[in-house]
Amino acid sequence: MQAVRWETLAAERWRLARWTALSLYLSLFVYQYVHGMPWTTKGLPLEREQFIAWMALGASIWSLGRDRREILLAIGGFGALAACFVLYDYTRGAIDNVWGNPTFIPQTPVSAPVQAIHNAKRLITAERALFFGRLPTEWLQDHLYLPSNQNPPKWEVLTGLTYLTHFFTVYLIALFMWFRDKARWLNWVRSLILLIALGVTGYLLYPTAPPWMAAKFNLMGSTVRPGTRALKYIHLNYADRLWNKGQNLVNLVAAMPSLHMAFTVLIGVFFWRGARPWLRVILVAYPAIMLFTLVYGGEHYVLDCLVGGLLAWLAVWLNRRYVGWREGATSAAKTETAGEPGEGLPAVEQVEAVGAYSSS
């Protein structure tokens, strides 16, 4: 009886510590938004590494008082995601070093490897063959694009918001699943990391100038980047400024494959099993709108998006195969391993079996 009371008291203390830490966390977040930190400017932490760091800290605080391995899992999982994007950022310099022979992009102060221009020419030739002599980006901009940045079409609010979702949706899903289902969280993070690794490999092996850049080299007709200009209609001017600022920091020849498209397809493939009909409509509509956004906006070719979608499917399939292999490899150990909860179980089941989670 005394042991039960002590466990209850300890659980209450950890619950209090957890909510106190969460209160401090929210206060710190508000301070970051209003005043900024020494290492960043004020406002929302929209840079990917900072965004993921905030999520890792929040997940770790939520796990206070539970099994210690939860915190290690949070730091390891979210840290691996951040490391992937640091690796992605370094691909810009790596591509220049690997392929060399850079050439300046007309009307810009930046350069790109000549190989990226050659690869773009091959993709453009293939797309002309697939679409009866027309390029989808050219056709869409000829029929829909309005050059006025002061009064862009209001329907571009949808494409602007869709484009921005690439920068936070998959991470918010990771954070939500951390609170809801850690076994599924592990599968999601593993699939996402694998997808990013495949995408970065594609950028290194096949650097490609996107449509807007190819147009500057006269490989196709005049192509512009509407970007997120219409977001001013919903008072998100800062997002448009962030988009314009970020274009000089990213890998400009990371067109093949499209990770924008890959992330949206990953969501659909991962959650399709067991999804309700209304959710399946969303899981199909989201990639469809993203495809239109990327092609209309001159950011990607249709073939980039198709390859990105295939890599997303491959990442989920490989993760499921890995889980199946672990289950087969540990099935014999289940009967031989005694005592400790989670020992001998498959990797995804170990997360559920680690410790006894106290109620929050």
Report, as an integer, the average pLDDT of 189-213: 91
Cβ atoms of 337 and 343 closer than 8 Å:
yes
pLDDT of 242 above 80: no
pLDDT of 347 above 50: no
pLDDT of 97 above 70: no
> Can you give the pLDDT at residue 93?
57
Q: Count the domains in the chain.
A: 1
> Can you give the pLDDT at residue 47?
66
> Can you give the pLDDT at residue 119?
93
Six-digit token string for 162: 């869709």
Residue of higher predicted confidence among 39 and 178: 178
pLDDT of 354 above 80: no
Q: Residue 323: inside a domain, yes or no?
A: yes
* Residue span of the structural domain in which 282 resides: 81-353
| Confidence bin at 359 (pLDDT 50/70/90) | very low
The pLDDT > 90 percentage for the chain reads: 32
pLDDT of 360 above 50: no
Least confident segment among 10-14, 173-177, 286-290? 10-14
Give 317-329 as a DSSP string.
HHHHHHHHHHHHH
Report, as an integer, the average pLDDT of 28-41: 71
Residue of higher predicted confidence among 318 and 327: 318
Q: Residue 68: inside a domain, yes or no?
A: no
Q: Residue 54: inside a domain, yes or no?
A: no
Give the angle subtended at the CA of 151 by the CAs of 150 and 156, to the nearest 5°: 115
Mean pLDDT of the chain: 79
pLDDT of 71 above 60: yes
> Can you give the pLDDT at residue 72?
75
Residue-wise pLDDT for 122-171, tens only, equals: 999 999 999 998 999 999 999 999 887 778 888 989 999 998 888 888 88
pLDDT of 272 above 90: yes
Top-ranked range on mean pLDDT: pick from 22-36, 41-55, 178-192, 292-306: 292-306
Q: Residue 102: inside a domain, yes or no?
A: yes
pLDDT of 336 above 70: no
Q: Residue 45: inside a domain, yes or no?
A: no
Q: Residue 65: inside a domain, yes or no?
A: no
Cβ atoms of 212 and 126 closer than 8 Å:
no
pTM listed for this prediction? 0.79
Q: How many whole angstroms separate alpha carbon 135 and alpha carbon 172?
A: 35
Q: Residue 75: inside a domain, yes or no?
A: no
b/e sequence 160-170, b meaning 16+ C-beta within 10 Å: bbbbbbbbbeb
Report, as an integer, the average pLDDT of 61-71: 70
Report, as an integer, the average pLDDT of 327-331: 74
